[in-house]
């Protein structure tokens, strides 16, 4: 077996520029731009003096083969029309603002003989890392469009040419590269660099937004205007239905799992749909299915009080599964009580009762679904069958939800998989987390609640920052257990802003939209 001497390996690295690099950088920029338009030694020293951490060189086998220059600038200056000379202070970087919230890219050059080795990409990556390390809003610059001069007759204007490149109908050696690297075009800068004859003096006004910032696009803050945590710990209970003798026994079981979740410092704990059907085993009476549900709704005050008190006592946000509740008009709705640890309580009714729930139990669907603001960011709840209707999830996501909780109750594997597959789709298409919690075990003698099949899980989008298969964690089917997962809101923001796919950004609002009717409003139709 032979060993390779490290001295025989050519080494490529990107590092911060130094003053002793200046003579070689003068040569490099002269080679790329001609001696007349290359950077002088004075300009290069000025760039390093103003913002030394923002200047990078690419070095290959000891030779400098690339250079990247940046400085910080305020948003108002960066995003309004400008020329290269104006904004860079004549190439010296003298407009550098130590408090500036944007990174301006004033220069990237690569040795002509080294193109094809992704030197430019490495320099752009160094820029992006600097931007994220400094927590700046993004990178902005004027980009060359060297293919314009040869194509101007065909496209008749610079605007048409740029649009053709954006749409993929034309390739530009510089602009196409920048688009592939996640930059977007804000517009055209006129007379940006009059000496750039290939670009006819134009430049594309380019921007890259820092994906680590939650408000790009807008991601709501936590309740009370507080910044959201970077990571949220969620727990989901795979709950075994068993016979009980009293409400106190039911309360002890719910408190047991709440205590466990709190001991593990969870921010949320989720219980399954129709968890309270267990209460029917107390009296163990033979009732008709309709009477069964109405009898169960009599426990509503105790159920609300139980979950509300536990949330405050154990300092945890509780998604209380669901409970059949009699409404003021006499209808029975399947309601999830969301009890926050600050003492507030929210209700989310199931919108879509299953055929069995409608026909056997007489359950009626609710009319609205609303995002709920918590101290860990905005959430939404979809009760079981609701997850199989993509409009529900999209409506919650449009309101700002980052996590969707799905209490479910399914009898056989086929029914479970309908819910599971739809929840995974919701996580992918909405770039959000979905937390499922289901029942296991059996309650003989309780109408329409004979057997249970459940496999609780916590689902993620399918992209590089997340779990390989889009499953943060899942359980062994039909075994009572508690699952935990730490969900990164930072990764979610990055995925929404600059993931491999950006579903929320790429929706075609020019082709379709989802509109929800507001129930109970007067008819606005005019005669």
Q: Which of 431, 432, 433 is nearest to 483 (CA)?
A: 433
Q: Which of 59, 81, 76 is nearest to 68 (CA)?
A: 59
CB 208 within 8 A of CB 128: yes
CA dihedral 348, 353, 354, 359 (to 10 degrees): 150
Residue by residue, DSSP assigns 209-226 as: E-TTSTTSS--PPPGGGP
Rounded Cα–Cα distance for residues 130 and 138 (Å)? 10
Q: Which of 131, 339, 384, 422 is catalytic?
A: 384
480 is catalytic: no
In this structure, what DSSP letter does residue 182 have? T
The residues that bridge with 319 in the sheet, in sequence order, are 270, 338
384 is catalytic: yes
Q: Which of 68, 128, 350, 388 is catalytic?
A: 350
φ and ψ at 123, to 5 degrees?
-70, -40
Q: Which of 408, 389, 380, 425 is nearest to 475 (CA)?
A: 408
273 is catalytic: yes
Alpha-carbon distance values, 145 to 46, 65, 117, 171, 246 (Å): 27, 22, 21, 10, 76
The residues that bridge with 433 in the sheet, in sequence order, are 403
Helices (H), ranges, 89-196: 119-133, 148-155, 158-166, 175-180
Q: Which of 158, 136, 132 is nearest to 147 (CA)?
A: 158
Q: Which of 107, 273, 357, 480 is catalytic?
A: 273
Rounded Cα–Cα distance for residues 429 and 499 (Å)? 12
How many other C-beta atoms are found inside a 10 Å radius of the C-beta of residue 88?
25
Rounded Cα–Cα distance for residues 29 and 86 (Å)? 20
Active site residues: 273, 350, 384
């Amino acid at each position: 077996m032979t060993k390779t001497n490290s001295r025989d390996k050519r080494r490529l690295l990107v590092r911060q520029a130094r003053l002793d690099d200046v003579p070689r950088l003068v040569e490099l920029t002269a080679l790329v731009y001609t001696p007349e338009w290359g950077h002088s030694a004075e300009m290069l020293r000025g760039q390093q003096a103003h913002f030394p951490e923002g200047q990078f060189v690419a070095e290959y086998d000891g030779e400098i083969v690339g250079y990247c220059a940046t400085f910080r600038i305020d948003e108002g200056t960066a995003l309004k029309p400008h020329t290269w000379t104006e904004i860079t202070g004549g190439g010296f970087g003298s407009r550098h603002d130590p408090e500036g919230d944007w990174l301006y890219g004033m220069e990237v050059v690569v040795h002509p003989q080294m193109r094809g080795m992704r030197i430019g990409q490495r320099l752009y990556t160094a820029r992006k890392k600097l931007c994220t390390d400094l927590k700046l809003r993004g990178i902005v610059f004027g980009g060359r469009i060297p293919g314009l001069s040869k194509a101007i007759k065909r496209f008749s204007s610079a605007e048409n040419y740029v649009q053709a490149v954006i749409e993929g109908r034309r390739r530009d050696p510089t602009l196409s590269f920048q688009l592939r690297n996640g930059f977007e075009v804000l517009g055209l800068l006129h007379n940006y660099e009059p000496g750039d004859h290939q670009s006819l003096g134009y430049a594309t006004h380019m921007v890259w937004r820092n994906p680590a910032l939650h408000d790009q696009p807008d991601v709501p803050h936590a309740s009370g205007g507080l910044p959201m945590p970077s990571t949220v710990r969620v727990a989901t209970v795979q709950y075994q239905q068993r016979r009980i003798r009293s409400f106190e026994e039911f309360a002890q079981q719910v408190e047991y799992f709440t205590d466990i979740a709190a001991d593990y410092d969870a921010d949320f704990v989720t219980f399954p749909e129709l968890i309270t059907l267990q209460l029917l085993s107390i009296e163990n009476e033979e009732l008709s299915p309709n009477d069964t549900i109405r009898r169960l709704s009599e426990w509503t005050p105790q159920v609300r009080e139980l979950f509300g008190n536990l949330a405050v006592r154990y300092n945890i946000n509780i998604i209380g599964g669901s409970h059949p509740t009699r409404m003021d008009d006499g209808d029975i709705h399947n309601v999830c009580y969301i009890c926050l640890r600050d003492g507030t309580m929210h209700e989310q009714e199931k919108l879509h009762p299953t055929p069995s729930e409608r026909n056997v139990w007489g359950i009626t669907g609710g009319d609205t679904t609303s995002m709920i603001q918590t101290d860990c960011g905005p959430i939404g709840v979809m009760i079981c069958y609701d997850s199989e209707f993509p409009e529900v999830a999209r409506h919650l996501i449009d309101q700002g939800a980052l996590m969707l909780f799905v209490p479910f109750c399914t009898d056989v594997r086929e029914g479970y998989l309908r819910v599971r597959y739809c929840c995974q789709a919701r996580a992918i298409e909405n770039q959000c987390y979905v937390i499922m919690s289901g029942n296991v075990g059996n309650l003989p003698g309780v109408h329409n609640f004979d057997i249970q099949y459940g496999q609780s899980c916590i689902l993620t989008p399918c992209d590089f920052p997340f779990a390989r298969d889009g499953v943060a964690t899942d359980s062994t089917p039909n075994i009572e257990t508690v699952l935990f997962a730490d969900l990164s809101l930072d990764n979610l923001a990055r995925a929404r802003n600059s993931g491999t796919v950006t579903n929320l950004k790429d929706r075609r609002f020019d082709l379709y939209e989802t509109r929800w009717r507001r129930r109970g409003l007067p008819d606005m139709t005019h005669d």
